[in-house]
Amino acid sequence: APLSAGADTIAAVATPAGRGGIGVVRVSGARVREIAGGVLGALPEPRHATLADFRTAQGAPIDSGIALFFPAPRSYTGEDVLELQGHGGPVVMRELLRRCVALGARVAEPGEFTRRAFLNDRIDLAQAESVADLIDASSTEAAASAARSLAGEFSQRITSLVAALTELRMHVEACIDFPEEEIDPADRKALDEKLSAIRVAHAVLLDAARQGAVLREGLTVALVGRPNVGKSSLLNRLAGEDVAIVTPIAGTTRDYVRATIELEGVPIHLIDTAGLRDAAADEVERIGIERTWAAAASAGAVLYITEEGEQPRVEDASLLARLPAGIPKAHVFNKIDLSRSTASTSAAGKDAEIHLSAKTGDGVAALRSWLLETAGWRPHGEGLFMARERHLVALRVAGERLASAERNTQAFELFAEDLKITQDALGQITGAVSADDLLGEIFSRFCIGK
């Protein structure tokens, strides 16, 4: 479909399919006034709720309800918009939509209203994405951070960074034509200060975006350890239900089992790995072991589980050595109920040792806290933004270029180039710089009527 705003008029049922107290048909485009005239008999007063009968071409009633008319440009899409709120039955909604189409509208594609809002500069790209995120939000925290992005907080922070970069670029361009020795030291100092202020603002924004992304994507955690240490039991304890089969026979968990739990609105994806033994008994177990390592390597954190009080084993040492470096891990000493030890936690940097019992639940709260902390969650998520992966990628590119700029402060041409690329990367977030295929991709994931 073409991405231009187009003069054609689109219509859709904006409320969910099925029966409901209220159903809304939304219409946007150049023919809205004609359509209002046809369905309602007259154009409603702008931005006022008007009680009206919705009628067929022959004048027969389809429904009666509230009509709302938003003249361009002060509407959701920036075009003339008509909203017809009727009774939310599927037949009523279908008839109303059919009537609008007969009067010259066509049925909208998913996300088309929001796409028009973007193309008509009512919202930027990051805001458009947050419309979908708000609708899809699975927790209060996720909804709040999407709402902040929709209100434009994220975009404003990006825009002010871009403005600071523009100012710095002008400063650099002004210096470019002069030989190095002619640059006023005060000028040089101001330039350095501007750059470091930008780097700080960027780092704060990246952090807020990364934390917001956690609410959306969550953390993947691999549970690893020898057979029978209690991996499946711990997963069941965390999930609070029997998702994995717990069995006392070594090596019976042949493949990993996944479960997603939600802690404070953060999705935590747990992977119970196959029993890890140096020598696999058979082909099935060998494949299970291979998958284990693949899962552990791509996880964001690892729970390495042994039994409380047991002597360190050779297999454990080799297992630990194979875990990817830099990935946060908690060494869980399970079954403290057997040795009558008490639950305790010690943390060293991002790694921790946690003593607990999957059977009694003793000490599991400490594990939950560690998971949350490792996921990047912090209490009272104010200031977080529901960032998407593409926002993080752009922010990271910007960060690398800013670091490069700092190395190039003595070479103005390179310095200016770094700033330009930084600006372009940030511009992709708000859609100031964007490719058509990216737009198509973003809006195609919307529901109809948005």
Report the interface residues with ligand GDP, using CB under 6 A: 225, 227-233, 246-248, 253, 275, 334-335, 337-338, 357-359
Which residue number places its CB atom closest to ligand GDP? Answer: 230
φ and ψ at residue 374, rounded to 5 degrees? -65, -30
Q: Which residues bind Zn ion (CB under 5 A)?
A: 231-232, 253
Rounded to a whole number of angstroms, the minimum distance from the CB of residue 355 to Zn ion is 20
Rounded to a whole number of angstroms, the minimum distance from the CB of residue 429 to ligand GDP is 43
221 in a known ligand binding site? no
422 in a known ligand binding site? no
DSSP string, 191-212: HHHHHHHHHHHHHHHHHHHHHH
Binding partner of residue 357 among ligand GDP, Zn ion, none, CB cut-off 5 to 8 Å per kind:
ligand GDP
Binding partner of residue 358 among Zn ion, ligand GDP, none, CB cut-off 5 to 8 Å per kind:
ligand GDP
104 in a known ligand binding site? no
φ and ψ at residue 61, rounded to 5 degrees? -70, 135
344 in a known ligand binding site? no
176: burial class by Cβ within 10 Å (0-12, 13-18, 19+)?
exposed
User: Could you give the CA distance from residue 76 to residue 450 in angstroms, rounded to a whole number?
Assistant: 10
DSSP string, 56-95: -TTS-EEEEEEEEEE-TTSSSSSS-EEEEEEEE-HHHHHH
275 in a known ligand binding site? yes
Binding partner of residue 248 among Zn ion, ligand GDP, none, CB cut-off 5 to 8 Å per kind:
ligand GDP
> In the complex with ligand GDP, which residue's Cβ is closer, 266 or 301?
301
Rounded to a whole number of angstroms, the minimum distance from the CB of residue 331 to ligand GDP is 14
CA torsion, ordered 235, 237, 240, 246, to nearest 10 deg: 60
For the chain, the residue count is 450
Q: Which of 359, 357, 316 is nearest to 225 (CA)?
A: 316
353 in a known ligand binding site? no
> In the complex with ligand GDP, which residue's Cβ is closer, 214 or 303?
303
Rounded to a whole number of angstroms, the minimum distance from the CB of residue 240 to Zn ion is 17
> In the complex with ligand GDP, which residue's Cβ is closer, 185 or 248?
248
Which residue's structure tokens are 């071409």?
57
> In the complex with ligand GDP, which residue's Cβ is closer, 169 or 359?
359
Rounded to a whole number of angstroms, the minimum distance from the CB of residue 388 to ligand GDP is 35
Tokens of 296: 């552990």
Which residue's structure tokens are 């019992």?
357
28 in a known ligand binding site? no
242 in a known ligand binding site? no
**Beta-carbon-side half-sphere exposure of residue 434 (alpha carbons within 13 Å):** 21
> In the complex with ligand GDP, which residue's Cβ is closer, 85 or 292?
292
Q: Which helix (H) or strand (E) holds 268?
A: strand 266-272
Instruction: Note the Cα 24 to chain centre separation in Å.
Output: 28
> In the complex with ligand GDP, which residue's Cβ is closer, 56 or 345?
345
> In the complex with ligand GDP, which residue's Cβ is closer, 247 or 444?
247
149 in a known ligand binding site? no
Binding partner of residue 228 among Zn ion, ligand GDP, none, CB cut-off 5 to 8 Å per kind:
ligand GDP
Which residue number places its CB atom closest to Zn ion? Answer: 232
Tokens of 38: 């046809």
User: Could you give the CA distance from residue 393 to residue 384 in angstroms, rounded to a whole number?
Assistant: 17
Rounded to a whole number of angstroms, the minimum distance from the CB of residue 151 to Zn ion is 46
228 in a known ligand binding site? yes
Q: Residue 431 carries which side chain, given as an amino acid letter?
A: G
CA torsion, ordered 133, 135, 138, 141, to nearest 10 deg: 60
Q: Are strands 329-334 and 351-355 parallel, antiparallel or unpaired?
A: parallel
> In the complex with Zn ion, which residue's Cβ is closer, 145 or 334?
334
Tokens of 142: 């996720």
Binding-site members for K(+) are 228, 247, 249, 252
Binding-site members for (6S)-5-formyl-5,6,7,8-tetrahydrofolate are 26, 83, 122, 450
Binding-site members are 26, 83, 122, 228-233, 247-253, 272-275, 450
Binding-site members for GTP are 228-233, 247-253, 272-275
